[in-house]
Chains A and B, each alone.
Chain A
Amino acid sequence: MLRSLVAWSLSYRLLILALAAILAGVGTYAFLKLPVDAYPDIAPTQVKIILKAPGMTPEEVEARVITPIEMEMLGIPRQQNLRSMAKYAIADITIDFDDGTDIYWARQQVAERLSGVMGDMPSAVNGGLAPISTPLSELFMFTIEGPLSLEDKRSLMDWTIRPALRTVAGVADVNVLGGYARAFEVRPDPVALAAAGLTISDLQTAIHAGNRNDGAGRLTEGEGALIVRAVGAVKSVEDLQEQVIRSSGSRVVRLGDVADVTIGSITRYGAVTRDGKGEAVQGLVIALRGADARLVVEGVKERLDSLQSSLPAGTSIDVFYDRSDLISRAVGTVESALLEATILVVILLIIFLADWRAAAIVAIVLPLSALITFITMRSVGLTANLMSLGGLAIAIGILVDGAVVVVENIVERLRHVDDKDHRPRLNHIFRATSDVIVPVSAGILIIALVFLPLLTLEGLEGKLFAPVALTIIIALLASLVIALTLVPVLASLGLKSGHHAEPWIMRQLMPRYRHLLAGAFARKKLVYGCAAGGLAIAVIAYGAVGKTFMPTMDEGSVVMQTAKLPSVSLDHSVKMDLAAQRAILKNVPEVTSVITRVGTDEIGLDPMGLGEADAFVTLKPREEWRGTKDDIVESMRSAMHQLPGAEASFTQPIEMRVSEMLTGARGDLAIKIFGPDLATLSTLAADIQTTLSGISGASEVMTMANDTVDYLEVDIDRLAAGRAGMPIDALQDAMRAKLEGLDAGMVAEGQRRTPILIKGDDSLRSDPDRFSDLMLRTADGNLARVSDLARVSRVEGPVRVDHENGTRYALVQAFVSGRDLVGYVDEAKAAVARDVPLPAGYSLVWGGQFENQQRASQRLMLVIPAALLLIFLVLFATLRSLRASTLILVNIPFAMVGGILSLSLSGQYLSVPASVGFIALLGIAVLNGLVLISCFRQLRDEGYSMADTVRLGAERRLRPVLMTASIAAFGLVPLLFASGPGSEIQRPLAIVVIGGLVTSTLLTLILLPILYERFGESSSSQADGTTDAAPNKDAQHV
């Protein structure tokens, strides 16, 4: 079939050239239109329910909100995991579905069940499904700067900027944080209420009833009609004040008589501060899952530009996080590596082939394979990102292998064409190409096969590395098709017949190699000893090399997470954040800006407590830094040490969200302790925290399980409350109205919707004793003190309650630095097993980044042997020789020697990218072995003795072996020296492949001939001068 393809291509050369041109055009278009992002879509199908439960404690949220919802949600088909978190006033429930589940189907399942249970929720609970976003959806962050007050900035954000940005294609929502959200506040006077015989509930009912516009129908007037409109909606503070609450004869009680009505704000659950100067209002653009991040950011910027002219004088929008910066730098890193690699490959081709025409023909494979890959990526929905483009960069040196073999064989055949040969030139090219179809396709098939295991990876590693494997496999297959179609056509048009001089490099290398090979044959035991020694050193180095999941990608931004006392007030937390910002800006000159967000955001996607804050730190350009990014982080850590009461940990925007998405926790290591009792969980968490902190490598170990907040517990005395005529729910509502506020409707002001809240006096919120003495009006019309109706005491309670699949758990998180993660976890597991005995009914689950590494290792351990078996079958089908196939596979461990040693010497860890490097190395080593052994077998068939065969064959195949190895290695050199975002992921891979290729090539060229001479054929075959099986005719002309 492939032979026919070559014949057909050469018969229709113009058509092939036209097809190539069309493919190049379509490929360029596909590349330009390809969705671009920094990372592949790594989020599982995840549905989040976020419910706000104003005023409720975590335990109340757990009991009254989360537990009923969990009962309903458990058992949804294709559900993988159900996590819940109860915090003060917020319930956050996350449901992960199996990979591949349609997000809209999943949301529908959740929405159906949620609607069934929402009726059982307390009346104040509101909220629902979070937007269809992923942890990577936070694309763009900005603050409003200018002379406006925080209230006005918030209004501008809520009612002008947010609605405008929400219409941009791909935007799921715009989260608004900070400032004061405008509200009509009704503050009742308890004495006046009592005098008028009114309750809070009366006020709420009256305000609701007196705030409505409506229609009454039509009136006929002659031939026309009049529509009757009844206007009764509240428009202003005055309208509210005039609202009659009760009338008795001619006497009326208006709202203004029993309450102060003012413009205020809804209760704040969080705030934003900037640069130590004060509070700010922040907007955060969240992209829809699957949206093209670059296009969304472009659309948002355009919309903000168009809004700029309509903003109040002096007001501007200050962007402090723009994902498109990271995207362009990350993609730029890979693109420049691709370009540099292409140039290096072309130079090498010219050096090795000594024929610029041949080099140019081979080089065409690179862009064309890449363009065909882009077409395929676009059609299967792959985005251009760090990983998929990285796959191309990895493959660049391998892509030309097929074309190199084809062109080299054509050059060789044309070299021997003389005037007496009257066969058509096209026939020579066809025969030269046909001769190498089997080894070329088998070689490329083998390299594609070695990447197949990556497609079986699961979880985060699967989502990260499947695009790498897919792009490599697609590009390799494209290069094979090009090598068998376009390359012969171009060779027929571009290459000259006749004698070509041996390239300079081969004239230099060949005598030296011949000498080296002769020496090796003379000292076989020394060669065996060196190889065995290398293997032994590699085994030792493997044990010593640290293991980790993934190198950290430098996103260019730093996020500082601060943890304060959980019971800190919002005002004090804001003051501490401002102090931290001032300290950092003063002590770390590389920092240009710090924007800190404390507490819960508007949508509730990131529900933090008042003691938790995320600070986005923007840095000066890299050339203005004094040291590395680690040095900057260390300076920030030192600056934070000067501030008591705040513990800082450092991460990056995407890294932070990815960690949260995977485990619901942040940290390299996340230990979940499952069990029923909160107190026991807290004790265990504290013990484990202490144990982990004592292990070397732990930079930050934290748990919130033993954090407590102070509660003022109002334990209602049923008898006292009943005697005073105060129902329990009325007492609870009255207390909530004093502090949190009670919803009393909405005022429509044009497009704005401003809530009406019944609230207590502000001074009451800062005086717990006064709250205990608070006078409330009972249903009987009497006044009663809170402390008369209930026992008021101070107690401690949990900050949050976490659930997984319906069971409570406590979380301990650890960040590891300066040490490999797996080593730390191994030591930690042993220490925890020794020092922290678990009571019956309690269990531990070790997760976090480490979990991904373990899962990836286990999967690769299973799949790589299967891939090796497949490779062996391909080799056997190609060579029809068990011995030859086995000898090629024997080459593999020696190839790994250089990879392990280079990894060890460079100080890099064995991570998933490094494993991908080993996989690529395996493919190239097998290919080189196949090239050499095919030649040996051909020479044996031609009647050479075994001794001559191995020497002559090794010399003949020196050029292709050196070419494939050096092109593959030099193709990765740009990744070795790249410094942009993403280079951290590619570097270990490049180190492994380059280091491995050095030993692999040496051993292929020296050890393999010796091994083939000794083990290549059975002794009887050697005596007969024949190979041990019928040779495959096509495989003999490599």
Chain B
Amino acid sequence: MSDVLLTLYCAAADGELIADHIGEAQQTMVHLRNEQVFGRDFADASPSERVMGQLRRCALEVIVPHDAIAPLVASINALGRAAPVRWHTVPILSAGRLS
């Protein structure tokens, strides 16, 4: 079964909650980045983000088996979050470790 890179974009306030959840569910490491998004679509923005004209987002990256995506996304959906989460996956074509 091939692995995929799952990237989730969530509100900064939801970042740690979702990261903890993924970490527990998948027993793997999660990469978390704070990002400023000067987006054109403010549908996900909170009022303060609309005021400031920028979305303070958190990007979470985790490599998981492809068939784990659906239950993982469903479980994140069930979490009590502050704002919507967007996600996408890309296949891992190759991976390795250099020491």
Is A10 an interface residue, CB under 8 A from the partner? yes
Is B87 an interface residue, CB under 8 A from the partner? no
Cβ-defined contact, A427 with B53, below 8 A: yes
Is B99 an interface residue, CB under 8 A from the partner? no
CB distance from A861 to the nearest CB of B (A): 48
A422 and B47 contact, Cβ closer than 8 Å, known pairs A427-B52, A427-B53: no
Known contacts A424-B45, A424-B50, A427-B50, then 13 further A-B pairs from the complex at CB < 8 Å, ordered by chain A residue = A7-B51, A7-B52, A10-B47, A10-B48, A11-B51, A13-B47, A422-B40, A422-B42, A423-B42, A424-B42, A426-B47, A427-B51, A430-B53
Q: Which residues of A contact B (CB under 8 A)?
A: 7-8, 10-13, 422-427, 430-431
Contact with A along B53-86 (1 / 0, CB 8 A): 1000000000000000000000000000000000
Q: Complex: how many Å from CA A724 to CA B50?
A: 110
Between A and B, 23 residue pairs with Cβ closer than 8 Å are A7-B48, A7-B51, A7-B52, A8-B48, A10-B47, A11-B46, A11-B47, A11-B51, A12-B47, A13-B47, A422-B42, A423-B42, A424-B50, A424-B51, A425-B50, A426-B47, A426-B51, A427-B50, A427-B51, A427-B53, A430-B52, A430-B53, A431-B53
Q: List, in ascending order, chain A residues with CB within 8 A of B45's CB.
A: 424
Q: In this complex, what residue of A is CB-closest to B48?
A: A11
Q: List, in ascending order, chain B residues with CB within 8 A of A426's CB.
A: 47, 50-51
CB distance from B15 to the nearest CB of A (A): 20
Find the residue from B42, B50, B53 having the highest chain A CB count within 10 A: B50
Q: List, in ascending order, chain A residues with CB within 8 A of B52's CB.
A: 7, 427, 430
Q: Which residues of B contact A (CB under 8 A)?
A: 40-42, 45-48, 50-53
Contact partner, A423, options B46, B47, B48, B53, Cβ 8 Å: B53
Q: In this complex, what residue of B is CB-closest to A492?
A: B51
Cβ-defined contact, A422 with B51, below 8 A: no
Q: List, in ascending order, chain B residues with CB within 8 A of A11's CB.
A: 46-48, 51
CB distance from A802 to the nearest CB of B (A): 71
Q: Complex: how many Å from CA A427 to CA B55?
A: 12
Q: List, in ascending order, chain B residues with CB within 8 A of A424's CB.
A: 42, 45, 50-51, 53
Q: Complex: how many Å from CA A13 to CA B47?
A: 9
Q: Complex: how many Å from CA A426 to CA B51?
A: 5
Q: Complex: how many Å from CA A430 to CA B50?
A: 9
CB distance from A489 to the nearest CB of B (A): 11
Q: Complex: how many Å from CA A427 to CA B50?
A: 6
Q: In this complex, what residue of A is CB-closest to B47?
A: A11
Q: In this complex, what residue of B is CB-closest to A8?
A: B48
Q: Complex: how many Å from CA A351 to CA B42?
A: 36
Q: Complex: how many Å from CA A425 to CA B50?
A: 8
Q: Complex: how many Å from CA A422 to CA B42?
A: 9
Q: In this complex, what residue of B is CB-closest to A430?
A: B51
- Secondary structure class of chain A's binding surface, majority of residues: helix
Q: List, in ascending order, chain A residues with CB within 8 A of B42's CB.
A: 422-424
Q: Complex: how many Å from CA A1013 to CA B13?
A: 53
Q: In this complex, what residue of A is CB-closest to B52?
A: A7
Q: In this complex, what residue of A is CB-closest to B41?
A: A422
CB distance from B46 to the nearest CB of A (A): 8
Q: Which 8 A-B pairs have the closest CB atoms?
A: A427-B53, A11-B48, A424-B50, A422-B40, A426-B50, A10-B51, A11-B47, A426-B51
Q: List, in ascending order, chain A residues with CB within 8 A of B51's CB.
A: 7, 10-11, 424, 426-427, 430
Q: In this complex, what residue of B is CB-closest to A14?
A: B47
CB distance from A319 to the nearest CB of B (A): 61
Q: In this complex, what residue of A is CB-closest to B39?
A: A422
Q: List, in ascending order, chain B residues with CB within 8 A of A13's CB.
A: 47
Q: List, in ascending order, chain B residues with CB within 8 A of A431's CB.
A: 53
CB distance from B11 to the nearest CB of A (A): 14
Q: In this complex, what residue of B is CB-closest to A422?
A: B40
Q: Complex: how many Å from CA A575 to CA B53?
A: 88
CB distance from B83 to the nearest CB of A (A): 14
Q: In this complex, what residue of A is CB-closest to B54?
A: A427
CB distance from A910 to the nearest CB of B (A): 50
CB distance from B18 to the nearest CB of A (A): 23
Q: Complex: how many Å from CA A8 to CA B40?
A: 22
Q: In this complex, what residue of B is CB-closest to A427?
A: B53
CB distance from A454 to the nearest CB of B (A): 39
Q: Complex: how many Å from CA A776 to CA B41?
A: 115
CB distance from A994 to the nearest CB of B (A): 40
Q: Complex: how many Å from CA A10 to CA B51?
A: 6
Q: Complex: how many Å from CA A11 to CA B56?
A: 14
Q: List, in ascending order, chain A residues with CB within 8 A of B48's CB.
A: 7-8, 10-11
Q: List, in ascending order, chain A residues with CB within 8 A of B40's CB.
A: 422
CB distance from B37 to the nearest CB of A (A): 13
Find the residue from B41, B42, B48, B51 having the highest chain A CB count within 10 A: B51
Q: Complex: how many Å from CA A426 to CA B45?
A: 11
Q: In this complex, what residue of B is CB-closest to A425?
A: B50
Q: List, in ascending order, chain B residues with CB within 8 A of A422's CB.
A: 40-42
Q: In this complex, what residue of A is CB-closest to B42?
A: A424
Q: Complex: how many Å from CA A793 to CA B42?
A: 108
Q: Complex: how many Å from CA A558 to CA B49?
A: 67
Q: List, in ascending order, chain A residues with CB within 8 A of B41's CB.
A: 422
Q: Complex: how many Å from CA A309 to CA B9?
A: 84
Q: In this complex, what residue of A is CB-closest to B53?
A: A427
Q: Complex: how many Å from CA A1026 to CA B74?
A: 60
Q: Complex: how many Å from CA A426 to CA B48?
A: 9
Q: List, in ascending order, chain B residues with CB within 8 A of A427's CB.
A: 50-53
CB distance from B70 to the nearest CB of A (A): 33
